[in-house]
Structure 1
Amino acid sequence: MASSSVKKAVADNTLNPSMCYNLSFFKELMKEYRRVDDNIMLRMNTTDTHSESACAAIFTELANAYHKREDAVNYCLKVIDQELDRKNKKLEEDPEDHNLKSNIYTEESKRRMISNELTVEDIVRERSLQVFRNKCRVFDIPADFEQFVNKRRY
């Protein structure tokens, strides 16, 4: 179950730098944003998949979730990159600062973990869209959305 602060962040659709540095919170936020994907089979089995409007409603939920997750990952990558830039400039001033080197390493590790969410995202999208396409054959996914989903594959 998501914590109340995660649910509030999801409801408010607000991101802030502290969310990016708390990896447990970030992972929980992503889990909450993936709830629509986690329940895709149940949704498809309880939806009139011969209705274009019903399929469009589910597609809209999926698309919104994809954008929210991608925005969250990109926001946190930007926040951490800015902090890394700042710390690397400080390191240039004092190359022997071992605490700063250690701190930079920690930041780089966080960045890798957050960046890995993009790979997870690709897998989640592929699985959800496969189920969606198989069940909602009456709905044509817009070409611009296909480009959005596939942009990291090429």
Structure 2
Amino acid sequence: MSEEVDPDVCYNLTYFKDFMKGYRKIDDNIMLRMNTTNTHSVENCTQFFKELADAYSKREKIINHCLKILDQGLERKQKALDEDPYDSNLKNQMFVDESKRRMIYNEYTVEDIVRDRSLTVFKNKCRMFHLPQEFVDFINRKR
């Protein structure tokens, strides 16, 4: 990943959500951007599509990275809990981390919704542009 996400971002959901919000600005402003872009130009549509695809890829990498960080932390805590099964503090920490992991995993659903909305606008405005097959495969694959 070109921009490494600090593990603290993954463990603090407020930071994580703010981080993702920054990467979703292109989707949040898509109507304005499409209204100020010459959508009859395949070149302009191609350039904007590349920006969208890059944002999608970066966001997915961030989600994957944070899930990996949380999984590693949970594995370490599980090993420690195996050694001391009565450590209630550790059990509580694991419960909190598992909840964070579920919330970050739910970002995949948010991504699907955001992508669907943005791509609908994009396809309606850039009608001459055809999505590359590898991108279609990327958004349609199963996680």
Calculate the TM-score normalised by the size of structure 1.
0.89
Amino acid at match of 2:69: V
Residue 23 of structure 2 is aligned to residue 33 of structure 1: yes
Residue by residue, what CA displacement relative to the aligned partner does 1:8-60 show, whole Å, maximum 9, x if unpaired? xxxx8231211111211110010000000001111111111110010011101
Trace 1:71-82 onto structure 2 (pairs within 5 A). 71-82=61-72
Amino acid at match of 1:150: N
Question: Who is 1:120 aligned against?
Answer: 110
Question: Who is 1:107 aligned against?
Answer: 97
The alignment-based identity, stated in percent, is: 59
How many residues are matched?
A: 142
Question: Who is 2:83 aligned against?
Answer: 93
| SS of the residue 1:144 aligns to | helix
Question: Who is 1:18 aligned against?
Answer: 8
Residue by residue, what CA displacement relative to the aligned partner does 1:60-89 show, whole Å, maximum 9, x if unpaired? 110010001000000000000000011011
Task: Return the alpha-carbon distance in structure 2 between the equivalents of residues 46 and 135 of structure 1.
Answer: 11
Q: Comparing both chains, which one has the higher relative contact order based on Cα–Cα distances under 8 Å and sequence gaps of 6 or more? A: 2
RMSD over equivalenced CA pairs, Å: 1.2
Report the Cα offset of residue 140 of structure 1: 1.0
Calculate the TM-score normalised by the size of structure 2.
0.96
Amino acid at match of 1:62: L
Question: After the TM superposition, which parts of structure 1 deviate over 3 Å for at least 4 consecutive aligned residues?
Answer: none
Structure 1 unmatched runs, 5+:
1-11
| SS of the residue 1:15 aligns to | coil
Residue by residue, what CA displacement relative to the aligned partner does 1:117-152 show, whole Å, maximum 9, x if unpaired? 110000000000011111101111100001111113
Structure 2 unmatched runs, 5+:
none
